Chain A
């Protein structure tokens, strides 16, 4: 069982090769870019621009995998499929809601981790 409930930083730790600065930088980038990406998908949902949703979801998969958010990797995969192929688009709103909640929970833990790294 990891230290956190919604994130798992083992993979990021492996990638860091022992550099705390790197972990801090990646977490800060994730906190900055992920809400922008989610917002972009929500805007695209209104415009029914499925391709953009698929493309953004594709990119988010890697970011979520760095944070050990396996559930969100799977959600991103489904969003990518639905978006890029413009099929089963009725699933998209619920998946995006799920992502918003998961991100909020993860962000709290990531900020906690940042505080620990900075002390």
Chain B
């Protein structure tokens, strides 16, 4: 199974430790942690597969970027990166906002949170692999079509050429005389 690079962003140290402990049980996951949105934005060039992002990143530092702001920036810089939003509260506005700005899911930090996050990651990576396969097939099909077009053009040119230089008789033209070989 291919390695999945996961970024985990939360300003709560205890939650980060717990999330890393649970998610790292899956050996195909490589997890990197961040405590601020500003830091994760700087690390987007490494192209993570999934970002698990806390909604309330500015809980203790009002000047810090909020989870929604970070989500918007991620989607602007790297639209292909899937984001799972985490929140400590069941709030319909939080959920609606998360999905509105491009999060693939919104997960409440309750007892089933890690199971749900893992299911989301599996779903996201499966969809990405499928998209990649489809893209590869499209590329292959495009190459084959171009090859066939060239082949047809080549055959047409070849036939025209042969006709012009008399190797193949044109329709209505007598075939070239056949040299008789004396029999012994």
**Closest B residue to A80 using CB positions:** B89
Query: Please, what's the 1-or-0 string for A1-21, where 1 marks a CB less than 8 Å from any CB in chain B?
Result: 000000000010011110100
A14 partner residues in chain B, CB cutoff 8 A: 111
Of B11, B21, B59, B89, the contact of A15 (CB 8 Å cutoff): B21
Given contacts A40-B60, A59-B12, A61-B88, contact A11 B17 (CB under 8 A): no
Of B59, B62, B111, the contact of A59 (CB 8 Å cutoff): B59
Assess whether B118 is interfacial by the CB under 8 Å rule. Answer: no
**Closest A residue to B114 using CB positions:** A15
Q: B58 to chain A: closest CB distance in Å?
A: 7
Q: Are A22 and B21 in contact (CB under 8 A)?
A: yes
Q: Which DSSP category, helix, strand, loop or mixed, fits chain B's interface?
A: loop
Q: Are B13 and A55 in contact (CB under 8 A)?
A: no
A63 partner residues in chain B, CB cutoff 8 A: 12, 14
Q: B4 to chain A: closest CB distance in Å?
A: 19
Which residues of A approach B to under 8 Å, CB–CB? 11, 14-17, 19, 22, 25-26, 29-30, 33, 40, 51-52, 54-56, 58-59, 61-63, 65-66
- A-B residue pairs in contact (CB < 8 Å), sample of 26: A11-B111, A15-B18, A15-B21, A15-B22, A16-B21, A17-B22, A29-B17, A33-B13, A33-B14, A51-B62, A52-B60, A55-B56, A55-B58, A55-B59, A56-B59, A58-B56, A58-B59, A59-B11, A59-B12, A59-B59, A61-B88, A62-B12, A62-B14, A62-B15, A63-B14, A66-B14
Given A40-B60, A56-B60, A59-B12; 5 other pairs, CB 8 A cutoff: A14-B111, A22-B21, A29-B14, A29-B17, A58-B59
